[in-house]
């Protein structure tokens, strides 16, 4: 007798799940299905699971395909289960290709091609429908978004739009999407929402067109490059009853939300200063970061992160904003920029660089102590509250899974489904303010060159 084993969350059981179990069963005489429990899902960064463990087990049972259903509760359990049940074949969807090759030591590993274009569920009548998302752009971040989307329940990335048909087709094939489009309006007719992953200077047009079509928009940072454009998009979203979100992943990450809450709780007294930096060395001047036509430069490329920290901790009403910058003589983009803020009773500095490197940390100064977040602070996994008396110091740890895009995707889906957003996440007012600061820099307002 040949035994096949597979695992999954099986949330909002849909035709893709059904088909995978059918094909898995065809490979052997007996099928064992492992269903992940809630704690394991949380620990591996699986977000927005809508159904309880009992409901998800019932989903599998009702399929009539499982000879035995087990619960997956911890990392490393797959090896134990394969040995315990003497499994001959381990089966999983092809979107995990390569992830479980280590199991080949114990049994045959088969990656089954996923069912493309799944957009409905057997439980649609009683639960929120799956949100169909189309990706705009085929660049680096678009691929990371797709990998992270696997960890968020309630969505299906179905298609991609690109001006270059060859690139769009290759992207669609690589990530096993249902297809691709070179006509944006045609793509919008097939989806509920879009993720905009194009260069900064075309964000506005893509977001505007999607919102006018009644589609929800998750747009990469910076959302836009001017205050008027930001205000216009948020007004348009409201008038069309759509969600518009700027994809600054840090704003939605658990560790950063905890950090902001701690700083605002009074644990370090009144906040007197915020110092945040984000730099990376970009050596090739052929890349977008050095292209003025694509709004390149250190501040437009990286400024959203330190601006987020300043905005969340000190607000949107500084008394004065100024900049110190250095420009590359060949490309004319800024390679190192520091934005300085003066608030009522507090100051802040946001440092960015693509041609200079410094520690990417965050320090929040208070009247009773300070909070220090080591590099990379924008992936907040650890921070320490420090005092004059070091015996009072406290360390805090929170997981930040892989690229972290899953946190913004999960928040996006929660808002679409009408769930209240967390109070510490990025608001329209804050997003508009950050666009205003970028615009001031690009218009050379209070800018001094090194």
- Residue pair 378/360 in contact (Cβ under 8 Å)? The answer is yes
Q: Where residue 27 sits, what CATH number does that domain have? A: 3.40.50.620
Q: What does the pLDDT read at residue 423?
A: 46
Show Cβ contacts of residue 329 under 8 Å, excluding neighbours closer than 6 positions. Answer: none
- Would residue 411 count as lying in a domain? yes
Q: Which of 211, 229, 248 is the last residue of a domain?
A: 248
CA atoms within 13 A on the CB side of 60: 27
> How many Å apart are CA 174 and CA 88, to the nearest integer?
29
> How many Å apart are CA 334 and CA 42, to the nearest integer?
41
Same domain? For 372 and 259 the reply is: yes
- Would residue 192 count as lying in a domain? yes
Alpha-carbon separation of residue 180 from 175, 197, 219, 220 (angstroms) = 11, 15, 19, 20
Strands 362-366 and 369-373: antiparallel
List pLDDT tens digits, range 290-330: 998 899 999 999 999 999 999 999 999 999 999 999 999 99
Q: What does the pLDDT read at residue 121?
A: 40
Residue 158 structure tokens: 């179905």
Same domain? For 244 and 256 the reply is: no
Threshold 0.85, pTM exceeds: no
Strands 394-397 and 382-387: antiparallel
- Would residue 14 count as lying in a domain? yes
> How many Å apart are CA 144 and CA 407, to the nearest integer?
13
Residue with the two structure tokens 């900064």: 200
Same domain? For 406 and 261 the reply is: yes
Domain that holds residue 378: 251-449
Three-class SS state of 27: coil
C-beta neighbour count of 269 within 10 angstroms: 12
Same domain? For 244 and 261 the reply is: no
Cα end-to-end span (Å), the chain: 75
Per-residue pLDDT of the chain (450 residues; tens, 9 = 90+): 899 999 998 987 888 888 899 999 999 999 999 999 877 777 676 777 778 888 899 999 999 999 999 999 887 899 989 989 999 999 998 878 888 998 998 899 999 986 655 433 444 444 557 899 999 999 989 999 999 998 888 889 999 999 999 999 999 999 989 999 999 999 999 999 999 999 999 999 999 999 999 999 999 999 999 999 999 999 999 999 999 999 999 999 989 988 998 999 889 999 999 999 999 999 888 888 999 889 999 999 999 999 999 999 999 999 999 999 999 999 999 999 999 999 999 999 999 999 999 999 999 999 999 999 999 999 999 999 999 999 999 999 988 888 999 999 989 998 898 765 444 489 999 999 999 999 999 999 999 999
* DSSP 8-class letter at 374: -
Same domain? For 244 and 147 the reply is: yes
Same domain? For 76 and 13 the reply is: yes
> How many Å apart are CA 133 and CA 158, to the nearest integer?
6
Q: What does the pLDDT read at residue 14?
A: 80
> How many Å apart are CA 46 and CA 81, to the nearest integer?
21
Burial of 121 (0-12, 13-18, 19+ CB in 10 A): buried
Same domain? For 144 and 38 the reply is: no
> How many Å apart are CA 141 and CA 22, to the nearest integer?
34
Q: What does the pLDDT read at residue 406?
A: 93
């Amino acid at each position: 007798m040949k035994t096949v084993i597979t695992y999954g969350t099986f949330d909002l059981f849909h035709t893709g799940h059904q088909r995978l179990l059918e094909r898995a069963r065809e490979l052997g005489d007996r099928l064992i299905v492992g269903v992940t429990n809630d704690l394991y899902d949380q620990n591996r960064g699986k977000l927005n699971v809508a159904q309880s463990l009992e409901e998800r087990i019932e989903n599998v049972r009702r399929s009539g395909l499982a000879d035995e259903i087990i619960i997956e509760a911890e990392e490393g359990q797959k090896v134990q289960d394969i040995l315990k049940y003497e499994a001959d074949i381990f089966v999983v969807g092809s979107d995990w290709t390569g992830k479980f090759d280590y199991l080949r030591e114990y049994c045959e590993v088969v990656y089954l091609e996923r069912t493309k274009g799944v957009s409905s569920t057997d439980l649609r009548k009683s639960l929120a429908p799956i949100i169909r998302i189309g990706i705009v752009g085929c660049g680096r971040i678009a691929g990371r978004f797709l990998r992270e989307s696997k960890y968020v329940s309630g969505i299906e990335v179905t298609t991609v739009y690109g001006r270059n048909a060859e690139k769009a087709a290759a992207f669609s094939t690589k990530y096993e999407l249902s297809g691709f489009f070179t006509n944006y309006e045609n793509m919008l007719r097939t989806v509920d929402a879009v993720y905009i992953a194009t260069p900064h200077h075309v964000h506005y047009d893509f977001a505007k067109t999607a919102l006018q079509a009644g589609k929800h928009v998750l747009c990469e940072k910076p959302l836009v490059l001017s205050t008027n454009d930001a205000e216009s998009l948020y007004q348009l979203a409201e008038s069309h009853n759509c969600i518009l979100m700027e994809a600054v992943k840090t704003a939605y990450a658990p560790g950063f939300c905890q950090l902001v809450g701690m700083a605002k709780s009074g644990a370090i007294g009144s906040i007197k200063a915020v110092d945040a930096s984000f730099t990376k060395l970009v050596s090739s001047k052929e890349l977008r970061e050095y292209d003025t036509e694509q709004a390149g430069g250190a501040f437009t490329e990286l400024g959203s992160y330190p601006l987020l920290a300043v905005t969340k901790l000190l607000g949107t009403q500084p008394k004065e904003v100024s900049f110190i910058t250095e420009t590359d003589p060949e490309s004319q983009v800024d390679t190192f920029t520091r934005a300085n803020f003066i608030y009522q009773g507090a100051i802040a500095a946001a440092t960015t660089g693509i041609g200079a490197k410094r520690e990417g940390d965050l320090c929040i100064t208070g009247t009773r102590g300070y909070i220090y977040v080591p590099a990379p602070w924008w992936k907040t996994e650890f921070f320490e509250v420090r005092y004059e008396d070091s015996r009072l110091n406290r360390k805090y740890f929170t997981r930040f899974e892989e690229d972290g895009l899953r946190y913004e995707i999960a928040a996006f889906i929660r808002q679409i489904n009408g769930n209240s957003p967390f109070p510490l996440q990025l608001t329209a007012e804050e997003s508009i303010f950050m666009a205003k600061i970028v615009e001031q820099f690009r218009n050379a307002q209070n800018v001094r060159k090194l």
